[in-house]
Structure 1
Amino acid sequence: MWRVIKSVLAAFFGVQKESRRHEDFSRGRASHFIIAGILMGGVLVLLIALVASLAAR
């Protein structure tokens, strides 16, 4: 599970190595990466909303 999380975070920042991407596609299940990406995207949106609401005070 940690490998999927690290891979999704690297993809969010755009620093994923090509060899790592090939490894993810050959070994990992797409559903794991999709679920992790959706969850991390939701967390990112919530963090941005929290920071924006704190800055508006």
Structure 2
Amino acid sequence: MTLIQAFKSAAAAFFGVQKSESHEKDFESETPFPFILAGVILAIGLVLLLITIVNIVLW
């Protein structure tokens, strides 16, 4: 599994729109590292986006 595929899968799971076929395919992966990395990066990105939006609104 490539990192790009892991990002797509993690983003779909992040928003709750992942298909069951994709979910099953993800669990067949030999290592969870790409999914963990993608999830951490997406979570940090979401937090930074929310901080930016709040700062813009309060400015």
TM-score norm. by structure 1 comes to 0.91
Q: Which has the higher helix share?
A: 1
Moved over 4 A (4+): none
Aligned pair count? 57
TM-score norm. by structure 2 comes to 0.88
Unaligned runs of 5+ in 2: none
- Cα distance in 2, alignment partners of residues 15 and 28 from structure 1: 23
The alignment status of 1:13 with 2:12, answered yes or no, reads: no
- Cα distance in 1, alignment partners of residues 20 and 30 from structure 2: 15
Residue identity over aligned pairs, in percent, reads: 35
CA 1:16/1:26 → structure 2, altered by over 3 Å: closer, same or farther? same
- Cα distance in 2, alignment partners of residues 40 and 29 from structure 1: 19
Q: CA RMSD in A?
A: 1.0
- Cα distance in 1, alignment partners of residues 58 and 30 from structure 2: 42
Q: Which moved more, 1:25-34 or 1:39-48?
A: 25-34
